[in-house]
Chain A
Amino acid sequence: MKRHAALGMIAAALAATPVWSETAPTAVNYEEGAIAESLSGTPGDPASGAKIMTTNALGNCVACHAIAAMPEVPFQGDIGPALDGAADRWTEAQLRGIVANAKMTFDGTFMPAFYKTEGFVRPGNAYTGKAPEGDLPPILNAQQIEDVVAYLMTLKE
């Protein structure tokens, strides 16, 4: 029990003090939907981004978007536009803003905000259907957003 409590405190401390230069979800500065600065301060890894985008419990972007550049991924959705050529249509700052909170770019869009922790109606603890315990983490953390943006930047036609 004691050990658990101690571990819990360390975890809480880690969650409360983000890595230096990391921007918290509540402190993000959107300019016309775009975010100029990296959220993590560390360059994104496109390979990790591709994984996040196709993993159900993470970004699951392919639930709604088709990406022809990922022919090996089955069952891509067609709710949103295909993402091929995204880097031709948007700058890195705009893509960061769309992934972090697409509602800042597309008013009222169906696309979820992946780097947002407040302002929800009955938020739950991930997919358990239960109320969250403690603070609600964003769906993706700062580095995961950067990784996704790095992958999107490879989508040129």
Chain B
Amino acid sequence: LALASTAMADPVDDTLVIETDDGSIELVTQTAAPDHLKDVLDTVYSGWLFREDETRVLQKDDFDNPGMVFVDRGLDSWNAAQGAKGESCAGCHEGPESMKGLRAVTPRVDAESGKLMIVEDYINECVTERMGLEAWGTTSSPMKDMVSLISMQSRGEVVNVAIDGPAAAFWEKGKEIYYTRYGQLEMSCANCHEDNYGNMIRADHLSQGQVNGMPVYRLKDAGVVTAQQRFVGCVRDTRAETFKAGSDEFKALELYVASRGNGLSVEGVGVRH
């Protein structure tokens, strides 16, 4: 058993080339750590490199990626006349390709309001203010379908969230959360994903806990999981009182974690176990 786990103790040596409707694309799943991480990590890795062969292969062909069902549902919602006055996303934005690039630079500070915005916040701003609807729950299925669709438009682009200027204070807050040892188990994100990536915690092969793959289709849940939802799960597992998905704390954390993956590709909808 000890031998079996040592054999898995590293990210695998594999390349993520995805067969899509428009030919194949290659994603960056490992690269030199961004400058702000140089003291603690040399290389950053996508969570994809820590998964089993059977799981990784599902992400190599859109036809096999179960997450694409959610992208399709997002597209139906995009085109549907669902606003209070029959507005649709498509009516104002045309095709979803108009969202290209957004996922690679969010979370980001909105220039006008000064608020830290995750993709979910942009969606809800339109849902409530421009369509006159009740806000969608941060981890509700209409929200996750739409996040999946929007995220896909940036697939292959390199994550590049800003951490300076108006983002700096949010980034510092997120960093503090990342290194705080929460809960009765007294564990920080860093304890698992910086100090112990590559190791086994029971049946789980620990990754660096990057969010470039998010949202991911999770085989265990048979559904799509967003970064905000994953944070809730990871903090709960430390026997802690979690922050809520969409809270200021978790938004700041998402910015910080995203910045640890600056240089990796947005995966659109990843596949994990």
Known contacts A110-B191, A127-B237, A129-B235; decide if A78 and B5 are in contact (CB<8 Å): yes
Q: Name B196's closest neighbour in chain A (CB-CB).
A: A79
| A93 lies within 8 A of chain B by Cβ | no
| B20 lies within 8 A of chain A by Cβ | no
| B40 lies within 8 A of chain A by Cβ | no
A120 CA / B191 CA spacing, docked (Å): 16
A40 CA / B185 CA spacing, docked (Å): 23
* Interface majority SS (helix, strand, loop, mixed), chain B: loop
| A128 lies within 8 A of chain B by Cβ | yes
| B195 lies within 8 A of chain A by Cβ | yes
B236 A128 Cβ-Cβ under 8 A: yes
A125 CA / B238 CA spacing, docked (Å): 11
| A47 lies within 8 A of chain B by Cβ | no
* Interface majority SS (helix, strand, loop, mixed), chain A: loop
- The A/B interface has a contact count, at CB < 8 Å, of 95
Q: Which of B45-53, B98-106, B145-153, B198-206 contacts A (4 or more CB under 8 A)?
A: B198-206
New A-B contacts (12) at CB < 8 Å, excluding given A110-B196, A124-B239: A63-B202, A75-B202, A76-B5, A77-B199, A79-B196, A110-B187, A120-B182, A120-B240, A121-B180, A124-B238, A132-B241, A139-B184
Chain B 165-195, CB within 8 Å of chain A: the 1/0 string?
0000000000000001111111100010001
Contact residues in B for A74 (Cβ distance below 8 Å): 203
* Complex interface residues of chain A between 71 and 112 (CB less than 8 A to chain B): 71, 74-79, 82, 103, 110, 112
A62 CA / B235 CA spacing, docked (Å): 20
A124 B240 Cβ-Cβ under 8 A: yes
A75 B2 Cβ-Cβ under 8 A: no
**Quick one: which of A56, A66, A71, A123 contacts B241, CB cutoff 8 A?**
A123
Contact residues in A for B196 (Cβ distance below 8 Å): 79, 110
| B6 lies within 8 A of chain A by Cβ | yes
| A60 lies within 8 A of chain B by Cβ | yes
B1 A71 Cβ-Cβ under 8 A: yes
User: Shortest Cβ distance from A21 into chain B, in angstroms?
Assistant: 26
Known contacts A121-B183, A122-B241, A136-B184; decide if A75 and B203 are in contact (CB<8 Å): yes
Chain B 218-260, CB within 8 Å of chain A: the 1/0 string?
0000000000000010011111111000000000000000000
- Residues of A whose CB lies within 8 Å of any CB of B are 56, 60, 62-64, 66, 68, 71, 74-79, 82, 103, 110, 112-113, 116, 120-132, 136, 139
Contact residues in A for B187 (Cβ distance below 8 Å): 110, 112
User: Shortest Cβ distance from A61 into chain B, in angstroms?
Assistant: 10
A127 CA / B237 CA spacing, docked (Å): 6
A123 CA / B186 CA spacing, docked (Å): 9
| B133 lies within 8 A of chain A by Cβ | no
A64 CA / B195 CA spacing, docked (Å): 13
B183 A120 Cβ-Cβ under 8 A: yes
A127 CA / B242 CA spacing, docked (Å): 10
Contact residues in B for A66 (Cβ distance below 8 Å): 1-2, 5
Q: Name B244's closest neighbour in chain A (CB-CB).
A: A129
Contact residues in B for A75 (Cβ distance below 8 Å): 200, 202-203
| B16 lies within 8 A of chain A by Cβ | no
User: Shortest Cβ distance from A144 into chain B, in angstroms?
Assistant: 15
B184 A124 Cβ-Cβ under 8 A: yes
Q: Name A60's closest neighbour in chain B (CB-CB).
A: B202
Contact residues in A for B203 (Cβ distance below 8 Å): 74-75
